[in-house]
Amino acid sequence: MHAERPLLSGLLSLLVALFAFLLAVQQVYNYDIWWHLKTGQWIWQHKEIPHTDPFTIATANAPWQPHYWLSDVLFALLLSLAGINGLILFKALVIALAFLLAFHLMLRQGVNPFLASALVLLAVPLAQFRFLLRPHIFMFLLSALFFWRLSVGSSAQKWYLLWLLPLMALWVNLHASFFLGLVLAGCFCTESLLQTLYPRYSREHRLPSPAFLGPLLLLLAAITLLNPFGLDLLRWILTDFILKQVTQGTITIEEHAPLVWGEHPGFWGLMLATATSFLLAWRRVRFFHLLVFLATSFLALRGVRFIAVATLLQVPLLGYNLQAMFDKLPAKIYRPSFRLQAALALPLLLIGSLFLFQQAFAEHKVYRFGLGIQESRFPKAAVAFLRRLDPAGNFYNTWALGGYLLWEWPERKVFWDGRSLEAQRRLAEQLEATSHLALGPLLQRFDIRAAILSLKDRHMAAYFRHAPAFRLAYFDDQALIFLADNALPPEKRETVRFFEHILPESPDFSYLASYAHSPVALRVEEELRHAVRLAPQSFRTHFLLGFFLEVTGRRGEALDQYFAAMQANPRLAFIHYDLGHRAGRLAIRLQQWDRAARLLREALRFQESSEFLFLLATALYQGGHTEEAEQTYQEVLRREPQQVASLVNLGYLYLDTGRFQKAEEMQRQALEAAPTNEAALFGLALALQRGGKREEAIQRWQEFLAKHPQSRWEQKARAYLAQLTAAQPATR
């Protein structure tokens, strides 16, 4: 049995590392990576570390402390050698190593390998939302290395702790999260002090003495000064990195938000489970572990940016405590053999990892598995449009877009970018507090003649829309572009058609209905068609044109545009604009059954909805796919057994396929839920008649005519009733 364990541990290590690696292989979707790459390139080209802002016009030469400078240089070099795909794989490798360390730390501490691997497999998806291509990836690996070295540190191996010194020197130049190393070392020193003061506090091994650890902690603190910014960096970490506000002016940084109950339920579960395990295993609890748990929980509660590293460090704590609890169980309790554990656990771990992987990259998630760039997240087409025009003067841009613009248009400086500089935060507050009337002189000071805005930047979009000198020249799913009257020479300006009536930044598109029968209806339609020509790959342009065509009565053309919108961005179509309901019902009304089925199948990928299933079943039924329609109706009824429309339609399907008894059963169930339902009464009478139940069929036809004398099926019902009453009953 023991001979098999190294092989088994190797297999489980491979499973854990591969799982974490694959969950970190995500297409680039975060804006910050672009200004990080630009910073790395700048440092490499200039052979110096900037202390002031070299990239923007609004905060030019403002103080800046790129504490991640070494990460940015490394990223830029890797990009030049291996491209963006190489960067993604490097990030995945760093994250996989971090979680592999957490797994092996549990094995080192005697945790059952199946328990350890299960805990890590459950933990990785909780941290996945922070697997971004940014310098903080080094926080995972370095905090895991620190925690490993401190957790296994003993008086006999105290000199191995000196490896923390070069790690800290590296960490302090890679990312500002190096303070976590000091926190972990401080927790370890506190446990050592407790062991010295209270000899009864004993564990499996003796810890190094405070006389050794105290100077080590001081050395670690001193090494944090080995950065280009000295004490200023430590001040910045305390005031900005840990205690930074979530929203300042027009800048909202979601990762700085505190953790609230109900959000990130998986991490709440982990934190509560770990806290409970400390209570249940209190006799074997290490004070170091308890302090680490309290510190990481505090950081995670303070800001969601720390949830991932808290998950990484708390999982070994939970594993250690659970193993301590299992070890305390009475000997008479049955303990399966190691072979039996392997036979049961390995298939479950494999199946579980496949399920978790599928859930991790579900359609509604923002991240996508794979290499390359998630193009739909970035305003590539808008930047290309603006570059082609090359307007005079400077341009204003939404703060979050700045880094991408720096990368895509290196010849031009941006107004500001995604770096959270103090000067940019103050400017954001100023812009937010400034009225639209006063914004003009402020922007004129920077010679702003164009603007590229995200669709969420409604404050500035409202300003440019109402500014007399600016007009909307372009929009798609990612950006709006406004141009000033003096931005282009006359010959170029004549080639640009501006939008006067469309409000693409508005989440409410119903305003277009007011234009449907107005004098400007043709002008609005021309603008919408021009928008489609400008941005043919945009969901928004096709959707707005489709909606306008629908409200003007051209439903067939509208459906064509809805299909084009769906193909351009299915996620936006079905999650944010509910195109499944709108276009699905429209296709059914137009009796385009195959198109309706195709659209509704796509909608179901993003949103499991009984209504979508019902509409899909109806489209399949009307399109002649009775077998699949029957299965789909049955799935609807499995979810909602009393859904009348599905009961009625399934009853008619059984009628059409000659299963009269089943048709009768379905219609009776429908009438139990809705006793006067017109379609159910008609269907039941017809099922009885075709099933040979003459007397009851006559009664049901009479009941139908009594309850629904004005029914559209009244003539058919009378004809069926006449057939029955005219026929002679069978004689023996």
pLDDT digits (tens, 9 = 90+) for 275-304: 999 999 887 888 899 999 999 999 999 888
pLDDT of 315 above 90:
yes
Gap between the Cα atoms of 732 and 730, Å rounded: 7
Give me the helices (H) in 572-677, please: 579-589, 593-606, 610-622, 626-639, 644-656, 660-673
Residue 356 sits in the same domain as residue 382: no
Q: What are the tens digits of pLDDT across the range 601-644? A: 999 988 888 899 999 999 999 999 999 999 999 999 999 998 99
Q: Which residues pair with 474 in a beta bridge?
A: 481
- Residue after which a domain boundary falls, among 463, 478, 493: 493
Whether residues 121 and 47 share a domain: the answer is: yes
In a domain, 99, yes or no: yes
Mean pLDDT, residues 696-712 taken together: 90
The reported pLDDT for the residue numbered 230 is 84
Element (H or E) spanning 408, and its range? Answer: helix 402-408
Residues 237 and 137 in one domain: yes
Least confident of 118-132, 156-170, 464-478: 156-170
Write down which residue in 445, 475, 493 finishes a domain: 493
- Domain identity same for 352 and 388: no
Who wins on pLDDT, 318 or 494?
A: 318
pLDDT of residue 200: 66
- Checking if the pLDDT of 228 tops 80, the result is yes
Retrieve residue 154's tokens: 């003993």
Average pLDDT, integer, range 428-447: 83
Listed residue (221, 19, 242) closest to 126, CA to CA = 19
Least confidently predicted of 22-26, 119-123, 407-411, 527-531: 407-411
pLDDT band at 252 (very low <50, low <70, confident <90, very high): low
Asked if residue 5 has pLDDT above 90, the reply is no
Last residue of a domain, one of 473, 493, 513: 493
Whether the pLDDT of residue 477 is over 80: the answer is: yes
Three-state SS for 226-254 is CCCCCHHHHHHHHHHHHCCCCEECCEECH
Closest CA to 133 of 241, 18, 28, 35: 28
400 and 429 assigned to the same domain: yes
β-sheet with 470-475: strand ranges across: 394-397, 448-454, 479-484, 470-475
Is residue 720 included in any domain, yes or no? yes
**Same-domain status, 270 and 302:** yes
> In terms of domains, do 355 and 382 share one?
no
Residue 534 lies in a domain: no
Same domain, 160 and 282: yes
Helix (H, G, I), strand (E, B) or coil at 480: strand
- Lowest average pLDDT, out of 199-213, 216-230, 653-667, goes to 199-213
Domain-located, residue 70 = yes
In a domain, 18, yes or no: yes
Determine the Cα–Cα distance for residues 414 and 428; give it in Å rounded to an integer.
15
Residue 246 pLDDT > 60? no
Q: Is 460 part of any domain? A: yes
Residue 224 has pLDDT above 80, yes or no: yes
Separation between Cα atoms, residue 570 and residue 593, nearest integer Å: 20
Mean pLDDT of 526-543: 95
Q: What is the mean pLDDT of residues 321-333?
A: 80
Number of domains the chain contains: 3
Is the pLDDT reported for residue 153 higher than 80? no
Q: For 513-557, what is the HEC assignment?
A: HHHCCCCCHHHHHHHHHHHHHHCCCCHHHHHHHHHHHHHCCCHHH
Query: How confident is residue 9, by pLDDT bands cut at 50, 70 and 90?
Result: confident
**Cα separation, 568 vs 565, whole angstroms:** 5
Q: 45 in a domain, yes or no?
A: yes
What proportions of the chain, in percent to the nearest 5, are helix, strand and coil? Answer: 65, 5, 30
Residues 129 and 232 reside in one and the same domain: yes
Give the model's pLDDT for residue 205. Answer: 66
Q: What is the average pLDDT score of the chain? A: 89
Give yes or no for residue 308 having a pLDDT over 90. yes
pLDDT band of 576, cuts 50, 70, 90: confident
Is residue 310 located within the same domain as residue 168? yes
Please give the residue range of the domain that contains residue 695: 641-732
327 within some domain: yes
Where residue 675 sits, what CATH number does that domain have? 1.25.40.10
Name, of 144-158, 244-258, 422-436, 514-528, the range with top average pLDDT: 514-528
- Same domain for 35 and 181, yes or no, is yes
Give the pTM: 0.85
Both 191 and 243 in one domain: the answer is yes
The whole-number pLDDT of residue 376 equals 86
Percent of the chain beyond pLDDT 70?
95
Instruction: Determine how many CB atoms are found less than 10 A away from the CB of residue 508.
Output: 7
Q: State the pLDDT at residue 731.
A: 40
